[in-house]
Structure 1
Amino acid sequence: MAVADWFLTDERPWTEGNSVVPLVHGEEYFAELHRCLEQTRQGDLVLFTDWRGDPDERLTDDDDSSVGAVLCRAARRGVDVRGLIWRSHLDKLAFSAEANRHLGDEIEAAGGECLLDMRVRTGGSHHQKFVVLRHPGRPELDVAFVGGIDLCHSRRDTAEHLGDPQPVDMAAVYGPTPPWHDAAVALRGPAVADVERVFRERWDDPQPLTRNPARWLSERLHRDDRHADRLPDPLPAPAPAGSLPVQLLRTYPYRLRGYPFAPQGERTVAAGYEKVLARAERIVYVEDQYLWSAEVARSFATALRRSPELRVVAVLPRYPDQDGRFSKPPNLYGREQALRIIQEAAGDRFSVYGLENRHGTPVYVHAKVCVVDDAWATVGSDNFNRRSWTHDSELSAAVVDEDYARSLRLRLMAEHLDATDAERAALADPVAAYEALRRSAQRLEAWYAGGRRSERPQGRLRPLADPPLSAATRLWAQWAYRVVYDPDGRQFSRRIASRRSSSM
């Protein structure tokens, strides 16, 4: 395969010679992150960004493995620990301002530096989730973790999907310990320096951490760190550690006075997907928290109309994460319109599933994974919606390699099917895999329809069917969806141009 046929060739660089290890589920990621953090020593550098951080979230079963304790121990033994956490909105809006403040306070008290970062477009968030570890004199240990897993409650689940012992409150259907499906990757090799550069660009952003006057008073009362200290000079990029090419894809919105490194914003996440979807011929496999936006859906629909053999599979949450009267309908509206656009183009070549554990409890799908034709695969923080493609900050790691991409797809599909080794091998053929998922989901749905009188069939997927919204609900839900839940972060002129091109 020609790497340039799949990667963006002008908008973003890429590196060769990397090792990329998928870390599926929070338990696997947290255990590896814990191991790497505990082996840092004086003079090493730890950089992390997060959407939400809970200092008491344990990385392993050990009581002393909490995020705050591990990072603070590192800072106390002379590791340079720097963090950028989205400042967040008020806790009463179900976001994470207090948790983020407390993690930052703990790290600062231990000698590190953690900034509450609100340098975003109004109503947006810093949604990137990554950690970089650099080791002067020990470059073989350098590693970067990129993905969708926050350092917070509810993320440390396993393939059994029984939930994190430290849960967050979610819709009642998910139970007291909501099952959680997620993914990240561990990068080693030259790509580590690329991830570090993303952190440095954000850290050195000259804009104030917040433009909200009310926040200025709060900062003074809490004695927040309002100014970023200078980072140490960057080390040379790590030597090759494998054979894989890696390209980082990013989103930054158009923002007043701009980001110095992206004055008009950056939409290489969207451009990357649009390029590979235009090449897709056999199968697109998606796991995502949201599949929203008519614009995103049209990219899939165009690919399906162009390639008559193409099949698309999407694994999504069966239910929104919140039950609220005003939060649930906009979620359903956004998904309804996107799925309808894709379905009309695909017919029986598009399947969308919800996930549950073997006990029948729905699993909240938070993973952001896409595999195209077993050639290109990405794991990151971005969702398939307009917010992630234009409005919030996002970071994903894309890889072009047949073995890597196919192995990732097979691992995820086999888990959802409870497949044996022999059954997993048969999934290598895209058509066979598509049909295996469809048959498994139909069997499980028929078992429920029949009153669950026999032994539960193998597999954990069920066809996704959202309840219809009334005309009255749709009227206000579509406004909330477009303005609050899935806003557009592009310049006004670019929004208009996009709408005109999509209507032609």
Structure 2
Amino acid sequence: MADIEALIKKYFVQPEDVVLPSEPLPATFSGNKITPLIDGTTYFADVKKEIDRLGRGTPEENKNQFIYLTGWWLHLVGGNVDPAPGGSGTTVDLVELKKPFSLDGPGAPGLLTDLLKAKAKAGVDVRVLGWASFAIMASNFVQSKAVKGGLASVRSTNIGTLASIKELRAEATLAEKVWVNILTHSAGAAHTKLVVVGSGSSAVGYTGGIDFSGDRHGGQPHPAEDWHDVQTRVEGPAVQALHDYFREMWNEIRVRKVRPFRLATADVPSHTLGTPELAARTLSTAPVGKHRVQSLRTLPQFNYTSFNQLPENQKISFAPDGRFEIRTAWLKAIKAAEQYIYIEDQAYWSMELLEAVREAVQHKPDLRVLLVTGLADPTDPALPPYASFALTQGLLKGLTSGQRTQVARFSRDVVVHSKSTIVDDHWAIIGSANVTRRSLYTDIEHAVAFLDDEDALVQQYRIGLWGDAFRLAAADQQKIADINKALNVWNSAWGTPGSGVLLPPSVTRVDFPTPIILAEEEQEKYDRYSDVDSRQPWGGCRP
């Protein structure tokens, strides 16, 4: 048996690690079952199975059942959407939403909108929180200015979400239960992809990187340009934290002033005043497994300069100083790493996290670091070289030539959208937070970090994740169970040979960029829009 108490002390956030009030001790639970769900097809099938269980009795029998869903991008409807005109009278192009979303796959029948409507009509308590930027999508002159200033991708995402909200509200039983999450920093987003499905005191939670969007149906074996992502299924006492996080956000929005949004010529109010409070619910604390979980959040602070052209927002009552729990947990695990740190992400912008990795490398000559990315997300805008700057100035600066051999960077021929880190086959985190400053301090995020009493879960997760990258059939994945043999597959100078597995052509070694310095205008865009730090006074758009 593993020495679970030693693992908890080494990798989990402890009372001595917290920095009050913004970095409190995260909610920590034992007796859980964590199931990493690699790729969208796996996740969507799992969540559909849970949703299908509900709403099969009479309305009276179904009234204790619930589906709570959040998303950064709810791309549930199809067709072309005419956005609101700018206040100057200028219009912008139609947004093409392609096919409506089905959990069964692109273009499949059984749309998620129809499924949620049917469950709500059957008496299930269905509630949805989708994000749209009140600074960009409000009915004011900023919209056209912001779009012209490079925020067209955010606008397109928001239009898809607002169109989905409008469609769901067409069902009478959902008219007051589908809201816009307006709790964000003016330059931030509600980036959580959180789902809780349950009946009475029993519930299952999901958190990770996967939105309900048509191009997220990736699966193994991945064809080139497919979508790769990770969500995790949470069972046991830790689901209470996921449920309560949704409830806190819902009840906070409930008492806020309604924000106006525009979709074509129609107003889409953020929420409905006067709705009843979402009541507390006590979920089962019965153990269902041997996994330890820390539930982690990012919630912003709200600091503004004296001049701010965009709408401001007020503090969140249940987190007036913000919550930076993901930051604390990530840094703790990186510092604790002894054998390897493996990160899958699309950004690598955070100087703070990459500096922490650098310090770990400098102090531990046996440590190996793997950074994996993939093709650019086709919905992302063209951005200055923030990752090149952070990698060269944060990770590599000050490393000796020998220490540089401890770090390697790889790219897959798929869109790597996952946000996950694994350390030493002991600790892992799966959530919505990227390796960016905004994910640590500004966007609304959620993640779970986990350990295992038997110290097997994280190794199994790593085998599945690397097996996906190496294109291994399930029967062959145990060839990389030994971490030293698995590291050797990535880099022949690491670990020990003998696995019989070769790095496939779909995974390529990527040289680190040469050192760069961001131009003044690039740095300003980074600080003002791209990777905002909510702890700093923020001034919005300039005239």
* TM-score normalised by length of structure 2: 0.76
- Which residue type is aligned with residue 341 of structure 1? G
Structure with the bigger RCO (C-alpha within 8 Å, sep 6+) is: 2
Is the Cα contact below 8 Å between 1:18 and 1:241 reproduced in 2?
yes
Cross-structure match for 1:8: 13
Identity of aligned residues (%): 25
Is the Cα contact below 8 Å between 1:290 and 1:335 reproduced in 2?
no
Which structure 1 segments of 5+ residues have no match?
164-177, 357-362, 442-455, 494-504
Q: For 1:350-390, what per-residue CA distance to the aligned partner results, in whole angstroms no more than 9, with x for missing partners?
A: 1111101xxxxxx1110011111111111100011101011
> How far 1:226 sits from its partner (Å)?
3.3
Is the Cα contact below 8 Å between 2:162 and 2:263 reproduced in 1?
no
Q: 2:297 aligns with which of 227, 250, 261?
A: 250
Q: In structure 2, do the counterparts of structure 1 residues 58 and 216 end up closer, same or farther at CA, with 3 Å as the change threshold? A: closer
Q: For 1:12-56, what per-residue CA distance to the aligned partner results, in whole angstroms no more than 9, with x for missing partners?
A: 121111111111000000011111111112221111111010222
Q: In structure 2, do the counterparts of structure 1 residues 439 and 48 end up closer, same or farther at CA, with 3 Å as the change threshold? A: same
Is the Cα contact below 8 Å between 2:261 and 2:269 reproduced in 1?
no
Cross-structure match for 1:105: 166
Q: In structure 2, do the counterparts of structure 1 residues 104 and 421 end up closer, same or farther at CA, with 3 Å as the change threshold? A: closer
C-alpha separation in 2, matches of 1:323 and 1:371: 26
Cross-structure match for 2:140: none
Is the Cα contact below 8 Å between 1:315 and 1:354 reproduced in 2?
yes
**How does 1:26-37 map onto structure 2 within 5 Å?**
26-37=40-51
My pick for the range that moved more, 59-68 or 364-373, is 59-68
Q: 2:53 aligns with which of 39, 54, 58?
A: 39
Q: In structure 2, do the counterparts of structure 1 residues 252 and 466 end up closer, same or farther at CA, with 3 Å as the change threshold? A: same
**How does 1:83-122 map onto structure 2 within 5 Å?**
83-88=128-133, 89-90=136-137, 93-95=152-154, 96-110=157-171, 111-112=173-174, 113-122=177-186
User: Does 2:393 align with 1:343?
Assistant: no
Is the Cα contact below 8 Å between 1:40 and 1:79 reproduced in 2?
yes
Q: In structure 2, do the counterparts of structure 1 residues 323 and 18 end up closer, same or farther at CA, with 3 Å as the change threshold? A: closer
Cross-structure match for 2:228: 181
Q: 1:57 aligns with which of 86, 98, 101?
A: 101
Cross-structure match for 1:170: none
**How does 1:316-355 map onto structure 2 within 5 Å?**
316-319=373-376, 321=378, 327-328=382-383, 330=384, 332-344=385-397, 345=399, 346-355=403-412
Q: Matched residue of 2:27: which SS?
A: coil
Q: In structure 2, do the counterparts of structure 1 residues 427 and 17 end up closer, same or farther at CA, with 3 Å as the change threshold? A: same
Is the Cα contact below 8 Å between 1:64 and 1:70 reproduced in 2?
no
**How does 1:97-496 map onto structure 2 within 5 Å?**
97-110=158-171, 111-112=173-174, 113-136=177-200, 139=202, 142-162=203-223, 178-205=225-252, 215=261, 221-222=267-268, 225-227=271-273, 228-255=275-302, 257-319=314-376, 321=378, 327-328=382-383, 330=384, 332-344=385-397, 345=399, 346-356=403-413, 363-401=414-452, 402-419=455-472, 424-439=477-492, 458-465=504-511, 474-491=519-536
C-alpha separation in 2, matches of 1:320 and 1:421: 28
Which structure 2 segments of 5+ residues have no match?
16-24, 56-61, 77-99, 138-142, 303-312, 495-501, 539-543
> How far 1:303 sits from its partner (Å)?
1.1
Aligned residues: 450
C-alpha separation in 1, matches of 2:32 and 2:178: 29
* TM-score normalised by length of structure 1: 0.82
C-alpha separation in 2, matches of 1:127 and 1:153: 17
Q: In structure 2, do the counterparts of structure 1 residues 420 and 38 end up closer, same or farther at CA, with 3 Å as the change threshold? A: closer
C-alpha separation in 1, matches of 2:429 and 2:449: 4
